[in-house]
Structure 1
């Protein structure tokens, strides 16, 4: 999956579950400022990657198993 599709998917998931950027950053193991840079299209130094998406999905699955 290319970076643009990964970014779209991450933002869709965050919107669907109503997660804040701070919580998402914590889940992905990055600082909130780095997360915000990854969201910003004008910052070429930072982008979402497959690991970020995998971390987010794994967190959601772990939380769902607790129910």
Structure 2
């Protein structure tokens, strides 16, 4: 079995934290366009970005993506 990264959960986590994409951008230093790309699954986050965002959202890095098992 292998774990792989599924869909980004950032939209859900932002709503849960009552935080806007713009606020996340200000707090992390990532551009609003970059945040939007992650929220809309246009590109995956780097390890550093995921660590920073998890810290700001007070969650685990693993929470940022659905994890999928493949045979």
Residue 11 of structure 2 corresponds to residue 11 of structure 1: yes
Kindly indicate whether structure 1 or structure 2 has the higher relative contact order, using CA contacts under 8 Å at least 6 residues apart. 2
Secondary structure of 1:4 counterpart: strand
**Is the contact between residue 28 and residue 56 of structure 2 (CA under 8 Å) also seen in structure 1?**
no
Query: What TM-score does the superposition give when structure 2 sets the normalisation length?
Result: 0.52
User: Would you tell me which structure has more helix in proportion to its own residues?
Assistant: 1
CA-based RMSD: 2.6
| Kept after mapping to 2: 8 A contact 1:3/1:49 | no
Deviation string, structure 1 residues 46-65 (Cα, Å, up to 9, x no partner): 3234433321232245xxxx
> Is the contact made by 2:14 and 2:20 (CA closer than 8 Å) also made in structure 1?
yes
In structure 2, list runs of 5 or more residues that go unmatched: 59-71
2:40 counterpart residue number: 40
* Structure 1 ranges of 4+ moved more than 6 A: none
